[in-house]
Amino acid sequence: REIYERCGACHSLEIDRVGPRHCGLFGRRAGSVPGFAYSDAMRNSGIVWNRQTLDAFLADPLRTVPGSFMTYAGIQDPKERAQLLAFLEVATRSEECERVATGPRP
């Protein structure tokens, strides 16, 4: 969670900010959150987010998707990336994220 807090200026689990929301991230095609204004590079990247693709992207976003709007330099430390990915795998499948994905329930 501590590492994810660094992402909080641009990202949230539940809502779009400067960057798209992370709920439902694993298995989602890059550039596919409805209504979010992605770069052409991200929309056309062909990436489907999983541990491997996220690890590569988080290590060097601009090298992984040249032309991406994400100008963050990346997380160089593999241990920190692994910890962030472990957090995201759990957090993006939380009850809160399930509500985001399915909408409000009666």
pLDDT > 70: what percent of the chain?
94
- pLDDT for residue 105 is more than 90: no
The pLDDT, as a whole number, for residue 95 is 85
Model confidence pLDDT, tens digit, residues 52-104:
999 999 999 999 999 999 988 999 999 999 999 999 999 998 888 887 765 55
Q: Residue 92 is encoded by which pair of tokens?
A: 């993006």
The pLDDT, as a whole number, for residue 39 is 97
What pTM did the predictor assign?
0.88
Q: Residue 90 is encoded by which pair of tokens?
A: 């759990």
**29 φ/ψ angles, rounded to the nearest 5 degrees:** -75, 135
30: nearest Cα among 69, 81, 4, 72: 69
CA distance 99 to 93: 10
